[in-house]
Amino acid sequence: MGIYTDGIVFGICWTVRDESDEIVDYYEKKHDTKLTMKQIQEIKKDFDKLTEPQKTGLSVKFYVSCSDTYGPNTYMDWWPSNINELDKILNEIHFTF
């Protein structure tokens, strides 16, 4: 069985943890449609408020449309990603992952 996504991003979330792995910050923005450039710019402003140590230990997920091998139906879910993919979205006009 496999789970697949078309790569269209509807939302972004990240979790910041401290040295003891406790959550110190959780950020989430999701929408019913693909993220617009304006929405991405707003998320980038919030991301830029993080310190470099916070960015280093960031856990990132994208809200995407998913499907699986069991049927034709799609569903929305949080897809694990990383800081490099987040950086691409926040700093490029066209994005997929």
Residues 33-84 have pLDDT tens digits of: 999 999 999 999 999 999 998 888 899 999 999 888 877 788 899 999 999 9
- With a cut of 90, say whether residue 6 has pLDDT above it: no
Q: What confidence tier does 1 reach under pLDDT thresholds 50, 70, 90?
A: low
Whether residue 72 lies inside any domain: the answer is yes
In the block, which residue shows the tokens 């929305």? Answer: 76
Asked whether residue 38 is assigned to any structural domain, the reply reads yes
Task: Give the three-state DSSP class for 21.
Answer: coil
The tally of domains found in the chain comes to 1
For residue 31, what are its two tokens?
């929408």
Q: Please indicate whether residue 93 or residue 9 has the higher confidence score (pLDDT).
A: 9
Query: pLDDT grade, residue 19 (50/70/90)?
Result: confident
Is 96 within the bounds of a domain?
Answer: no
pLDDT given for residue 93 in this prediction:
55
Range of the domain at 18: 3-91
Whether 23 is covered by a domain: the verdict is: yes
Tell me the C-alpha distance between 94 and 26, whole Å: 26
Instruction: Give domain status of residue 17, yes or no.
Output: yes
- C-alpha count within 13 angstroms, C-beta hemisphere, residue 45: 6
